Chain A
Amino acid sequence: MKLKITDELLYQYVPKADQELLDAVPDRPDPGFEPGIRHKKQIQKLLRQSRRPNRHFRYMSAARRAAVIAVFAAAVCGAVPAGVKAAERFRIWAAQQRIRNDRIEEHYKVEGTGTDLLRVFGYIPQGYQLTEEENTGETYTGQMENEKGELIVFSQAVLDDGAMVERDAALKDVHEISVRGLKLQIGIDDDGWRSAYWIDGNVYCTVVAQNLSEDELIRMIEGMEDPD
Chain B
Amino acid sequence: MLILYTSLIETQEQKSKFELLYEKYYRLMLYMAMQALKDPMEAEDAVHTACIKIIKNLDKVDEVESPRTKRFLLTIIKHTAIDMIRKKNREKNISLEELEEWQLPADEGGMAAQSEENRIVTAIKHMPELYRDVFLLKYSSGYENREIADILEISEASVRKRISRGKKKLEALLNGENM
Q: A13-B121, A46-B51, A141-B145 are in contact. Are A166 and B153 (CB under 8 A)?
A: yes
Bound Cα distance A155, B136 (Å): 21
B-side contacts of A33, CB under 8 Å:
34, 40, 43
Q: A17-B124, A19-B67 are in contact. Are A5 and B155 (CB under 8 A)?
A: no
A-side contacts of B71, CB under 8 Å:
18, 22
Residue in chain B with minimal CB distance to A18:
B140
Taking a contact as CB atoms under 8 Å apart, the answer to whether A11 and B6 are in contact is no
**Does A14 reach chain B (CB closer than 8 Å)?**
yes
**Does A27 reach chain B (CB closer than 8 Å)?**
yes
Flag A24-56 by CB within 8 Å of B: 1 or 0 each. 011111111101101100110111011111100
Taking a contact as CB atoms under 8 Å apart, the answer to whether A47 and B19 are in contact is yes
Flag B138-153 by CB within 8 Å of A: 1 or 0 each. 1111000110010001
Q: A153-B161, A208-B161 are in contact. Are A14 and B140 (CB under 8 A)?
A: yes
Taking a contact as CB atoms under 8 Å apart, the answer to whether B136 and A54 are in contact is no
**Which residue from A9, A28, A51, A151 sits with its C-beta under 8 Å from B161?**
A151
Given A168-B154, A170-B86; 6 other pairs, CB 8 A cutoff: A16-B117, A16-B121, A25-B32, A45-B2, A155-B160, A191-B161
Q: Enumerate the 3 nearest inter-chain pairs by beta-carbon distance, A residue then B residue, closest first.
A: A14-B139, A18-B140, A31-B30
